[in-house]
């Protein structure tokens, strides 16, 4: 039997606020355990929480960026459960009246745009963190760090519209890009600012009803998400094929083993005994509030991508890669402004030239060195100065790779590097001829074959000359002169 996968994601996003959701404690990551706490986030009896307006603003902004409808009246609810990292015995969340509903994020599947529906976006607070002693050489104890407790979160719940692990990754990528563009979160996945629970089920192809789902909790990397989904889909299909049944449950992904394991049977909403939080006022959001926030929205990734294709005649793929991150898009556009070759310069496709360098060398180094583009030593000015050195014939495209490498290692300007390393391209014909004659003298057999009709050997000779000149000979000059010299020997 053939199966179809159905996936819905619940994404938790840490909002970019200075203070917590209901108290004035700092949200700063990495503080000493239990430093960022007060009676409110410690859950002491009798304290009164106060809603962080900035957290509401950021959630409204997200709702606008994902085309959600914002509820004019929404409120917080208590989600009751016991866990040592939750001193109050309940989490403040939103339940029957979330801030926003019914939006979407667009992804591209096989070249076609597909909309993934957003069911709801609501605000909530994070819980604390348990640190188990075995990791600290103290296997009999567990420690509790309350710093995270009360950190403002937004939960973005998708419709079960996703059909494969690749689509799930694409959706997360797009959503993350949007959240970064609108600056509602730093989206640092390693620090837990962006994490997701994946709901997965399988059903026979053609079936109209969904299969029973399992929920895989708390994944904080794209790779884990994809691995966990792949494992989970196979597990469910294998179970069904063996005549078994899928039980609705919560599972955990073990990244070391690459498997998911059952954590607990799935709790139902009624288990939590949700009720409106009597300590907090409902939030009324009028159209003025919404419109004020709308004016703060920047150009979003989809719009930027379309503009890049139109304005710079870039291939769709380039525009996609360059706009995944706002800072990479600005780096690219800064280069465009600085490069600024006049249209009659005869230099074609300037934007594409820059795009090739940014998508190629720049992104490669950033990935290898695990660097943010803001901290990259090769500034747009340096990159475009280097491109101008290629354009005016000072260096070859091949040498440019060496110059680039030196630029990011030393932070020196391309001109200085070219001067210091003697990388200036050899265009002087007599110098090139000297090298060509050496190559001809050293390879009598190839010369004879070439003259016997093996025209393809020309690339061999070009290669030899480039090698001997350490890549500095101008390839056009080499080509032209080689043909002349070979014709006359
Ligand atoms: P629960 O109440 O169990 O948390 P929800 O209906 O709130 O379930 O849905 C939670 C998430 O699970 C949503 O992202 C939704 O799209 C997804 N989902 C719902 N049903 C299925 C299913 N059968 N298979 C996969 N995902 C599903
Ligand atoms: Mg759920
Ligand atoms: Zn506090």
pLDDT tens digits, 311-330: 998 999 999 999 988 999 99
pLDDT at 451: 87
pLDDT at 347: 53
Contact in structure between 164 and 5 (CB atoms under 8 Å): yes
Q: Would the CB of 236 count as within 6 Å of ligand 1?
A: no
> What are the two backbone dihedrals, phi and then psi, of residue 472, each rounded to the nearest 5 degrees?
-90, -15
- Read off the DSSP letter of residue 68: P
More confident residue, 426 or 43: 43
- Read off the DSSP letter of residue 162: B
**Is pLDDT of 341 > 70?**
no
Q: Would the CB of 160 count as within 6 Å of ligand 1?
A: yes
Query: In 3D, which of 281, 165, 266, 168 has the Cα closest to residue 214?
Result: 266
* Segment 108-140, tens digit of pLDDT: 888 888 999 999 999 999 999 998 888 778 888
Q: Would the CB of 210 count as within 6 Å of ligand 1?
A: yes
Which residues belong to CATH 1.10.10.410 in the chain? Answer: 429-488
In ligand 1, the atom with minimum distance to the C-alpha of 200 is 25
* Segment 5-32, tens digit of pLDDT: 999 999 999 999 999 999 999 999 889 9
Q: 199: CA distance to ligand 1 center in Å?
A: 6
Q: Would the CB of 269 count as within 6 Å of ligand 1?
A: yes
pLDDT at 79: 96
Query: In 3D, which of 149, 142, 154, 38 has the Cα closest to residue 90?
Result: 149
Contact in structure between 119 and 158 (CB atoms under 8 Å): yes
Task: Say if strands 259-265 and 77-80 run parallel, antiparallel, or are unpaired.
Answer: unpaired
Q: Which residues have a beta carbon within 5 Å of ligand 3, which is an ion?
A: 23, 25, 38, 40-41
What is the spatial distance between Cα 242 and Cα 235, in angstroms, rounded to a whole number? 11
**Is pLDDT of 346 > 60?**
no
Give 201's strand partners: 6
The CATH fold assigned to 429-488 is Arc Repressor Mutant, subunit A (1.10.10)
Q: 268: CA distance to ligand 2 center in Å?
A: 9
Q: Would the CB of 16 count as within 6 Å of ligand 1?
A: no
- Read off the DSSP letter of residue 218: E
Residues 340-352 have a mean pLDDT of 67
Q: Is the pTM of this model over 0.75?
A: yes
What is the spatial distance between Cα 103 and Cα 118, in angstroms, rounded to a whole number? 5
pLDDT at 47: 95
457 CA to centre of own chain: 45
> Residue 343: which pLDDT band, with cuts at 50, 70 and 90?
low
Instruction: Write out the E strands in 205-256.
Output: 214-219, 249-254
* Segment 429-474, tens digit of pLDDT: 888 888 899 999 999 999 999 988 888 888 899 999 888 888 788 8
**Is pLDDT of 348 > 70?**
no
Which of these ranges, 73-77, 294-298, 436-440, has the smallest mean pLDDT? 436-440
What is the spatial distance between Cα 389 and Cα 387, in angstroms, rounded to a whole number? 5
* Segment 26-54, tens digit of pLDDT: 999 889 999 999 999 999 999 999 999 99
Q: Would the CB of 159 count as within 6 Å of ligand 1?
A: yes
The residue written with tokens 């996003």 in the block is: 13
Which of these ranges, 167-176, 201-210, 396-405, has the smallest mean pLDDT? 396-405
């Amino acid at each position: 039997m053939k199966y179809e996968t159905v996936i819905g994601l619940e994404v938790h996003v840490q909002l970019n606020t200075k203070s917590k959701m209901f108290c004035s404690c700092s949200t700063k990551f990495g503080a000493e355990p239990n430093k960022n706490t007060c009676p409110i986030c410690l859950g002491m009896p009798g304290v009164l929480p106060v809603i962080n307006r900035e957290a509401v603003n950021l959630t409204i902004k997200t709702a606008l960026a994902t085309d959600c409808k914002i509820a004019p009246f929404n409120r917080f609810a208590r989600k009751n459960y016991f866990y040592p990292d939750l001193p109050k015995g309940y989490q403040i969340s939103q339940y029957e009246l979330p801030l926003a509903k019914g939006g979407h994020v667009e992804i591209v599947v096989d070249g076609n745009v597909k909309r993934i529906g957003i069911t709801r976006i609501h605000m909530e607070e994070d819980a604390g963190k348990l640190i188990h002693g075995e990791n600290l050489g103290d296997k009999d104890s567990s420690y509790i760090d309350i710093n995270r407790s009360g950190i403002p979160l937004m939960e973005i719940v998708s419709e079960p519209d996703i059909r494969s692990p690749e689509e799930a990754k694409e959706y997360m990528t797009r959503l993350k890009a949007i959240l970064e563009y609108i600056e509602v979160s730093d989206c640092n996945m390693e620090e837990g600012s962006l994490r997701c629970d994946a709901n997965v089920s399988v059903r026979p192809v053609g079936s109209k009803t969904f299969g029973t789902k399992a929920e895989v909790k708390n994944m904080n990397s794209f790779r884990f998400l994809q691995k966990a989904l792949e494992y989970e889909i196979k597990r469910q299909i294998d179970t069904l094929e063996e005549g078994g049944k899928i039980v609705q449950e919560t599972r955990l992904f073990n990244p070391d083993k690459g498997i998911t394991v059952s954590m607990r049977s799935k709790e139902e909403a009624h288990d939590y005994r949700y009720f409106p939080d009597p300590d907090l006022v409902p939030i009324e959001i009028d159209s003025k509030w919404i419109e004020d926030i709308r004016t703060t929205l920047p150009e979003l990734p989809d719009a930027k991508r379309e503009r890049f294709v139109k304005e710079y005649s870039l291939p769709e793929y380039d525009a996609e890669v360059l706009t995944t991150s706002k800072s990479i898009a600005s780096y690219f556009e800064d280069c465009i402004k600085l490069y600024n070759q006049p249209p009659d310069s005869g230099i074609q496709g300037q934007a594409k030239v820059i795009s090739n360098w940014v998508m190629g060398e720049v992104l490669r180094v950033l990935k290898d060195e695990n660097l943010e583009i803001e901290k990259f030593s090769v500034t747009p000015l340096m990159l475009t100065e280097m491109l101008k050195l290629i354009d005016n014939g000072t260096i070859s495209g091949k040498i440019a790779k060496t110059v680039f490498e030196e630029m990011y290692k030393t932070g020196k300007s391309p001109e200085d590097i070219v001067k210091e390393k003697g990388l200036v391209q050899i265009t002087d014909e007599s110098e090139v001829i000297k090298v060509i004659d050496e190559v001809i003298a050293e390879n009598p057999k190839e010369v004879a074959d070439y003259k016997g009709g093996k025209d393809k050997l020309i690339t061999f000779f070009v290669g030899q000359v480039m090698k001997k000149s350490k890549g500095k000979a101008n390839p056009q000059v080499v080509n032209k002169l080689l043909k002349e010299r070979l014709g006359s020997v």
